[in-house]
Chains A and B, each alone.
Chain A
Amino acid sequence: MKQDPERRASGDRATLRREVLAALRAVVPAHILLSRDEQAVPFECDGLTAYRTVPLVVALPEDEAQVAAILRCCHALRVPVVARGAGTGLSGGALPHERGVTLSLARLDRVLGVDPLACTAAVQCGVRNIAISEAAAPHGLYYAPDPSSQIACTIGGNVAENAGGVHCLKYGLTLHNVLRVRGYTVEGEAIEFGAEAYDVPGLDLLALLVGSEGMLAVATEITVRLVPKPQAARCILASFADVEAAGAAVAEVIAAGIVPAGLEMMDKPMTAAVEDFVQAGYDLDAAAILLCESDGTPEEVDEEIGRMVAVLEAAGATRFEISRSEAERLKFWSGRKNAFPASGRISPDYLCMDSTIPRRRIAEMLRCIADMEARYGLRCCNVFHAGDGNLHPMILFDASDPGQLQRAERFGADILETSVMLGGTITGEHGVGVEKLNSMCVQFSLEEREQMLRVKHAFDPGSLLNPGKVIPTLNRCAEYGRMTVRGGRLPHAELARF
């Protein structure tokens, strides 16, 4: 029996599930569909585990034709579709819709080809980030963006989130390293964004697609740019007696005309946590440590390391170590790359924030965070992609203590809003998802949010692709405004507004 879409949207969930399943079984094999709650539960959240919803149906397509068929079917039924890669996202971008289909693209995991002459790799969306570099390695090439989750996260997810990593300052984000995306519109029609040529005629829709969190189209095949593996890489580990000096040192490195391959900062609590986890020999007395990397030809690296050391020394570094071997360089990085699991060891739960501020305000931001620790009664460890001003404060809490999650979330929102006031943004690389919907109300005006909604509707007039993410509703922002403007005053009234 056919139902009209309006009734379908409001009918009971079990009936809806039966209908959707029947329609999907008519177009794709039954073995790629999961519909019992116990089968769908593993898909109930992504890396942001505080938010969970069991999807109506999970579809695990094995080829593009099945992706297209599922999209066409859901579009006809007016059923939401949430695309999902490895589920490592940290902002709830892949949080399922309780009345929608979760489209898990992990089985589209073939490397289609590496072209060493063009320096490109064509891969399916479910290929893991690191698998691209592994496939390219025999040609002396690699895929540069390296998010911490690179052993698990998929390139399709990277495209959806515009993922970064520790080498973005020199090598760019996902956006700068993706040439072409083949995918499907919400109607299930094939579409190409970008090209193997460096540009396409007309509007740059690829730039709009990358980072759109699965709300504009579903990416199935991606051609990435590969870069030659540098002959040499060395890393400096520099200690600072106070965070202000470390923050200033970051600006000094840039001012000296150096673009480091990586420039990372950890504060004392973070350093202690990761040292306990990896035993890399970090300086536990330092208020902050910087990791500063150079790559290129051996001569180039020697020259640049010399210049970096001179700048860091003049900026007040109290101790230096320079990696003498590849093993030692990797050891320096081991702690930084394990900041998340290390936080998990020192606290039952943690909330990882992700904002960006102008580099020159890093020290100021750290002071604000220290004040917030006292105000919210929670600890916070800090790890920064200092070179591009991208902060990852880890708010430590215990979810079993009622009230702590709420305090941690308020703490996090406070960090994001302070970042906006300092001239930055609420998310540098993790995306808005569901986690930062409220903070979007702070960063963007009503007109700006409405313009984004019109962009969404240009691609997806019925709001079926990952609905409810990224752009908050007018009501939500009005509600949030009432909640946070306490007594008509914004937090941190002493800060200059930008």
Chain B
Amino acid sequence: MARTTRPLPAERQLVERVLDAWDRHEALELRGGGTKHFYGEAPRGAVLDLRPLRGVIDYEPTELVVTARCGEPLAEIEALLAEQDQHLAFEPPHFAAGGTVGGMVAAGLAGPARAAAGALRDHVLGVRLLNGRGEILRFGGQVMKNVAGYDVSRLLAGSLGILGIMLEVSLKVLPLPAAVETLGFELPEAEALQRLRAWASRPLPVNASAWHEGRLWVRLAGAQAAVRTAAAALGGQRLDRDEAALWWAAVRDHRHPFFRLDDEALAAGTSLWRLSLPPAAPVLELPGAGFIEWGGAQRWLRSSAPGEAVRQAAQRAGGHATWVRGLARDVGVFTPPSAVTMQLHRRLKDAFDPHRLFNPGRLFPDL
């Protein structure tokens, strides 16, 4: 990454803003497009709009790396990559129009391809960070392999902005698969889970999976020959490609009706939960409706069960439950980590943002 770049005027203004907030003991809510405003604990503090920090700094398709400023719209990056038949393989959710690259990395979320392509953090190569002392720092870089110093850039993925402002991010990109095919199967939940695990241990180009109300969707992606052979081997019903693409995007962005809570559902006390479980975990006995992704590792739940019950069931299965949306809740958004891990969170917060300026309370209420 650029070693001698001077801060842009807009970046110098940001440094001033951070130092000023420090002087005035003021909290700052870091915001990009606001498309994931619903995610995490309620934001607090004066809004710091990072959208003016736009632009792609470097994109060399043969290096499989793109470097952009935090305010660059996600949709524009994706369009730029698509021109070169490349993409962000972790399939980041948009939820709504206007999301930014910085917001995407801070939220750390991945879409249906996550089980095959890896998490967002697996694709982060480097960052330029403005910390809570008003210092601009670079970690990582623009190359695939880099073990110089601690991997601070990947720590920032999914940190919900509590450690600093990511001014620039370098991301690994990959070629678009030559062939994509979606297959549909009629299967009850337990059998679908079993089938998914059996497929995962075979060399098949399974790129995404989803189960809902007795139907399993499986997306194959890869070389023409591999997809053709796998589609023939798995059977099922082949779906129209364009329709399937729209369907996966609706799942990714929570536009599928399962993820929407209308007034009636809200009034009935229904919440949407995200359960992250070991993929081979059995069917959980919880009231409500389910939607399974990632070969069993991500299970969405619409339920009016008490938060504690949902959380305990997830923890018993070796995972955790995140409250995503609803009207009221009796627990925090995220499962609190163990005491020793929580202490490390507090010390790391102090290490980057000693005056607790950035997104206070957004990840955990007392952080």
Contact = CB atoms under 8 A, between A and B. Distances in A.
A445 interface: yes
Contacts of A466: none
B150 A211 contact: yes
B146 A427 contact: yes
A257 B276 contact: no
Interface stretch (A56-64, A115-123, A126-134, A280-288): A115-123
A175 B155 CA distance: 12
Contacts of A410: none
Contact of B202 (A140, A201, A423): A140
Interface string A391-435: 000000000000000000000000000001101111111111000
B155 A197 contact: no
A115 B280 contact: yes
B144 A169 contact: yes
A172 B178 contact: no
A203 B158 contact: yes
Q: Which of B61, B151, B159, B320 has the most CB of A within 10 A?
A: B151
Contacts of B334: 201-202
A303 to B, nearest CB: 5
Given A202-B345, A203-B345, A424-B141, A451 B223 contact: no
Contacts of A388: 143-145
B149 A175 contact: no
Interface string A342-364: 00000000000000111110000
B263 interface: no
A245 interface: no
A204 B137 contact: no
Given A175-B154, A211-B151, A302 B225 contact: yes
A458 B174 CA distance: 35
Interface in B51-89: 60-65, 85-86
B197 A207 contact: no
B322 interface: yes
A202 B280 contact: no
B122 A172 contact: yes
Contacts of A389: 143-145
Contact of A141 (B139, B143, B201, B320): B201
Interface in B89-147: 108, 114-115, 118-119, 121-122, 131, 135-139, 141-147
Contact of B351 (A303, A451, A470): A451
A76 interface: no
A385 B143 CA distance: 12
A358 B143 contact: yes
A208 interface: yes
Contact of A198 (B114, B136, B228): B114
Contact of B152 (A259, A299, A426, A452): A452
Contact of A176 (B122, B297, B348): B122
A118 B197 contact: yes
A228 B230 CA distance: 14
A459 B178 CA distance: 45
B197 A202 contact: no
Interface in B329-367: 334-338, 340-342, 344-345, 347-348, 350-352, 363-364
B3 A385 contact: no
B341 A191 contact: yes
Given A176-B118, A192-B338, A230-B203, A164 B145 contact: yes
B252 to A, nearest CB: 16
A205 B148 contact: no
B344 A205 contact: yes
Nearest to A357: B143
Contact of B337 (A172, A201, A498): A201
A452 B150 contact: yes
Contacts of A203: 155, 158-159, 163, 344-345, 348, 363
Interface residues on A, range: 35 or more
Given A162-B151, A198-B276, A255-B61, A356 B341 contact: no
B145 A429 contact: yes
A204 B144 contact: no
Interface in A117-154: 117-119, 139-141
Contacts of A421: 3
A275 interface: no
Contacts of B85: 257
A259 B61 CA distance: 13
Interface in B216-241: 222-226, 228-230
Contacts of A445: 137-138
A233 to B, nearest CB: 11
Q: Which of B114, B138, B141, B145 has the most CB of A within 10 A?
A: B145
Contacts of B108: 199, 204
Nearest to A299: B225
Given A168-B145, A201-B320, A296-B203, A118 B279 contact: yes
Nearest to A390: B145
Given A201-B322, A360-B63, A208 B298 contact: no
Interface string B283-321: 000000000001001100000000000000000001110
A212 B228 CA distance: 43
B176 interface: yes
Contacts of A169: 144
A497 B341 CA distance: 41
B107 to A, nearest CB: 12
Contacts of B336: 201
B365 to A, nearest CB: 12
Q: Which of B203, B230, B294, B345 has the most CB of A within 10 A?
A: B203
A19 interface: no
A360 B63 CA distance: 7
A122 B294 CA distance: 21
Contact of B62 (A200, A255, A259, A296): A255
B311 to A, nearest CB: 10
Contacts of B223: 296, 300, 303-304
A457 interface: yes
Contacts of A438: none
14 contacts: A117-B201, A197-B319, A200-B276, A204-B154, A205-B344, A211-B150, A254-B64, A257-B85, A356-B146, A423-B141, A427-B146, A428-B143, A429-B147, A451-B352
Closest 8 CB pairs of A and B: A299-B225, A257-B175, A458-B347, A428-B145, A207-B154, A454-B351, A197-B319, A196-B278
Given A118-B278, A203-B163, A296-B223, 9 more contacts: A175-B122, A208-B150, A228-B202, A300-B222, A359-B62, A360-B60, A388-B144, A388-B145, A425-B145
Interface of A: 115-119, 139-141, 161-162, 164, 168-169, 172-173, 175-176, 185, 189-192, 195-205, 207-208, 210-212, 216, 228-231, 251-252, 254-255, 257-259, 296-297, 299-300, 302-304, 356-360, 385, 388-390, 420-421, 423-432, 436, 440, 443-445, 447-449, 451-452, 454-459, 470-471, 497-498
Interface of B: 1-4, 60-65, 85-86, 108, 114-115, 118-119, 121-122, 131, 135-139, 141-152, 154-155, 157-159, 163, 174-176, 178, 197-198, 200-204, 222-226, 228-230, 276-280, 294, 297-298, 318-320, 322, 334-338, 340-342, 344-345, 347-348, 350-352, 363-364
